[in-house]
């Protein structure tokens, strides 16, 4: 379903000139092509993203929003903006990547189970799923690795104004 620019402005709490400026300045580009008559069209996902930007705009400057979006692009987070959860504390814009963190933890846990508890014992002719000192040492190594990875991610994903 496509929403025209006037209805989009009403539904997102913005104005038509604001939507046009955001598009011209590269802050937000609708995912739908312009209509045959050249009118802007927005998708439902666009509406969700624009509501988030309007919410952020009420708390922080447009420059900070632009900087946060730039950081997302530099880190190759290229999903539609509606896929992210944004937050602002009045000084900065943050992107909550909880889903990514959970997927990363599950991935690490999966490889901990597959590696030292399944693959290595199979290769060495040992019993599977043996919880001995070696398996616990491997688990500790994976936990330390996960902690270091989390600290690096926090440093890399700091709000744009702090970098």
Q: In this predicted structure, what is the pLDDT of residue 47?
A: 92
Beta strand segments in the chain, E: 3-4, 41-42, 85-88, 93-96
Report the chain (163 residues): mean pLDDT per 10 consecutive residues. Answer: 90 92 88 79 90 87 84 75 74 65 68 77 85 79 72 61 45
Two tokens, residue 157: 């994903």
Determine the Cα–Cα distance for residues 121 and 124; give it in Å rounded to an integer.
5
- Is 94 strand, coil or helix? strand
Which bin fits 26, alpha (ψ -120 to 50), beta or left (φ > 0)? left
Predicted TM-score (pTM) above 0.95: no
Please give the pLDDT value at position 161. 42
């Amino acid at each position: 379903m496509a929403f025209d620019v006037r209805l989009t402005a009403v539904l997102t709490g913005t104005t038509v000139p604001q939507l046009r400026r955001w598009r011209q300045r590269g802050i937000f580009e609708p995912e739908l092509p312009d209509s045959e008559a050249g009118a802007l069209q927005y998708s439902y996902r666009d509406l969700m993203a624009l509501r988030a930007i309007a919410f952020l705009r009420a708390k922080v400057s447009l420059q900070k929003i632009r900087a946060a979006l730039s950081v997302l692009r530099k880190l190759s987070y290229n999903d539609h903006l509606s896929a992210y959860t944004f937050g602002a504390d009045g000084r900065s814009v943050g992107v909550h990547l909880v889903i990514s963190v959970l997927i990363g933890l599950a991935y690490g846990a999966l490889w901990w189970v597959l590696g030292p508890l399944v693959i290595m014992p199979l290769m060495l002719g040992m019993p599977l799923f043996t919880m001995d000192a070696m398996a616990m040492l491997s688990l500790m190594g994976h936990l330390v690795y996960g902690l270091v990875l989390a600290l690096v991610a926090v440093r890399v994903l700091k709000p744009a104004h702090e970098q």
